[in-house]
Amino acid sequence: MTPIPRSVLAAIVTAGLAVLAFVPAARAVDQDAARTLARTNNCFKCHAITRDKDGPGWKKVADKYKGKPDAEAQLMHHLTSGEMVKLADGSQVHHKIIKTDPANDTAQIKNLVDWILSL
């Protein structure tokens, strides 16, 4: 077998690295993980996908943020800051701060936000 020239090997390694670097950006939403995180956090106590409960249906949220470049950042803030929200009965509460296992796993929260925005 003829040995593979060094330059060809270098090209293969470079191409491989380029693909690896591209993967995180192209990562699709993991819908099952998003739903599981929402379920374990009791988000569905106040939210549904299509209809409004105490909180707005998440399709409505997706519509509201459609085309807004900072949508992901705003919802990340919403889920981690405990800002005040108004419930159906008019009372004001701190919005639930999302919990992940391990704690503060931004990637998990981001996946849920991206899923909500994709609805």
| Site residues (vs ligand HEC, CB under 6 A) | 38, 41-43, 45-47, 54-56, 61, 64, 75, 78-79, 85-87, 95-96, 98, 112, 116
Enumerate the β-bridge partners of residue 94.
84
State which residue, 27 or 64, has the beta carbon closest to ligand HEC.
Answer: 64
**Three-state SS for 93?**
strand
C-alpha distances in Å from residue 89, one per residue of 27, 38, 68 = 40, 23, 30
The residue (of 31 and 41) whose beta carbon lies closer to ligand HEC is 41
Least spacing, CB of residue 39 vs ligand HEC, in Å: 9
Instruction: Give me the least distance between CB of 27 and ligand HEC, in Å please.
Output: 19
Task: Report the nearest approach of ligand HEC to the CB of residue 20 (Å).
Answer: 31
Nearer to ligand HEC, 7 or 109 (CB): 109
- All residues at 6 or more sequence positions from 109 whose CB lies less than 8 Å from its CB, including other chains: 37, 76, 79, 80, 98, 100
Nearer to ligand HEC, 14 or 118 (CB): 118
Cα distances (angstroms) measured from residue 68 to each of 39, 42, 72: 27, 27, 9
